[in-house]
Structure 1
Amino acid sequence: MNIKSNSDNGDVHEEVKISKNGEDIEIAFNPKYLIDALRVIGRDEITIEFTTSVSPSIIKPAKDSGFLYLILPVRRR
């Protein structure tokens, strides 16, 4: 997975190794909400479920804990 962030302070590009099912998707999130989800989950491994680039996504721990975080995508510039 490629993670990119662009702001007035600079640009960041990271590549993260993942396991995936289905087709490739390009989606954008507000980084604040994504970071909030990752902090709350607090695990090394997560699952992100996507359907389309404009539908809400679900972020949850890889091992089910009964917790899930719903995050809405944003329009890309």
Structure 2
Amino acid sequence: DRAVLPDNSAHIGGWARADATLRYSHKAGGHTLTWRAGIDNLANRRAWRESPYQFEHAYLYPLPGRTLRASVTAEF
């Protein structure tokens, strides 16, 4: 648990996040291509990522939900 307010009167729970990424590289036409694909937050966990306290207020920022990523990089 983490305290949200300076007087420790409010707390938010701890959390863990699992991510997965794959990478594959190969030569094509004399250039190296690198393919990447990934999933952030595999379990689609709902949690508060941050809870800064500023200007007499607590601000709660949610952990982003499951996110898919993909890219291709070419080296010339």
TM-score bracket for this pair, using the shorter chain length? under 0.3
Compute the TM-score of the two structures, normalised by the length of structure 2.
Answer: 0.27
Higher helix share: 1
Q: Greater strand percent: which structure?
A: 2
| Greater Rg by CA | 2
Normalization by structure 1: what TM-score? Answer: 0.26
